[in-house]
Amino acid sequence: MLEELLLTPRQYENLMAGTLVTVQVILGSFALGTVMSLVMGVARLSHRRWLRGWALVYIELARGISAIILLFWMFFALPILFGFGGMSPMLAGILALGLNMGAYGAEIVRGAIQSVPKGQTEASIALNLTERHRLRHVVLPQAVPIILPPYGNLTIEVLKGTALVSLITLTDLTRAALVIRQNRVLSDDPVNVPILFVNVLVIYLFLSQIIAQVFKVAERRSARKFGST
């Protein structure tokens, strides 16, 4: 009876291998998404009209296109359009999810910067700081505590979106579970399907809790450092 409620060691091994791929995708997407969030969020507030325009176009396109369509476009259409040999599923997944994350994150960054009291900017101007130094040393440090809570939620949403990469042949956690289920049908390899997907659910929940705790620690530290309440 107990054996029916457990997966075999090989099945657990396959799930862990898929989990590792999922972690790689979320880390790559988070890195790209964070860079794009900062760059485009700051660009949206630039005094240069052309820079604001490019940032707005990127944000509206990336937010307006479904993540799954962007993923398919990266993996299937882009190689044909530009005539190269193809893109790895990992790279396509990271690019699609990272660019999508960057568009939503850019609006978080923009809103946080605008919430910093204007007196802080005026004081830094009085100190003869350049625009770059004002942003780096005065505005962004005070915006960080405001950015972190919604950005943590966004990161968890992207984690859940990593399941989409299973559609472009990348064996992430979701695809690993589907392969285990399919093998059960084809080879009568015993597996309790409800228990299989309970395991998948628990792993995703565990990963999301790790992200939540990391951001909570970052929020506490930034609040102490910058005097946020």
Which pLDDT tens digit goes with each residue over 119-156?
766 676 666 666 677 777 677 888 899 999 999 999 99
pLDDT at res. 1? 45
**Superfamily classification of domain 3-226:** MetI-like (1.10.3720.10)
Residue with tokens 């997966």: 7
The predicted structure's pLDDT at residue 21: 97
Residue 15, classed as helix, strand or coil, is helix
pLDDT for res 115: 87
pLDDT at 3 over 90: no
Could you report the per-residue pLDDT of 71-114, keeping only the tens digit for each?
999 999 988 888 777 789 999 999 999 999 999 999 999 999 88
90 φ, ψ to 5°? -60, -50
pLDDT at 209: 97
The pair of structure tokens assigned to 63 is 């937010």
CB 172 within 8 A of CB 165: yes
* Maximum distance among all Cα pairs of the chain, rounded to whole angstroms: 75
Higher pLDDT, 55 or 5: 55
Structure confidence at residue 218 (pLDDT): 94
Helices (H), the chain: 9-43, 49-64, 67-72, 78-82, 89-115, 118-126, 131-134, 140-161, 173-187, 193-226
Lowest mean pLDDT among 35-49, 106-120, 146-160, 173-187: 173-187
- Exposed, middle or buried by CB within 10 Å (0-12, 13-18, 19+), for 165? buried
Question: What per-residue confidence (pLDDT) applies to 129?
Answer: 66
Residue 2 pLDDT exceeds 50: no
pLDDT of residue 8: 83
Rounded to an integer, what distance in angstroms lies between the CA atom of residue 216 and that of residue 194? 32
The overall pTM is greater than 0.85: yes
User: Who contacts 36 (Cβ-Cβ below 8 Å, separation ≥6)?
Assistant: 58, 98, 99, 101, 102, 103, 105, 106
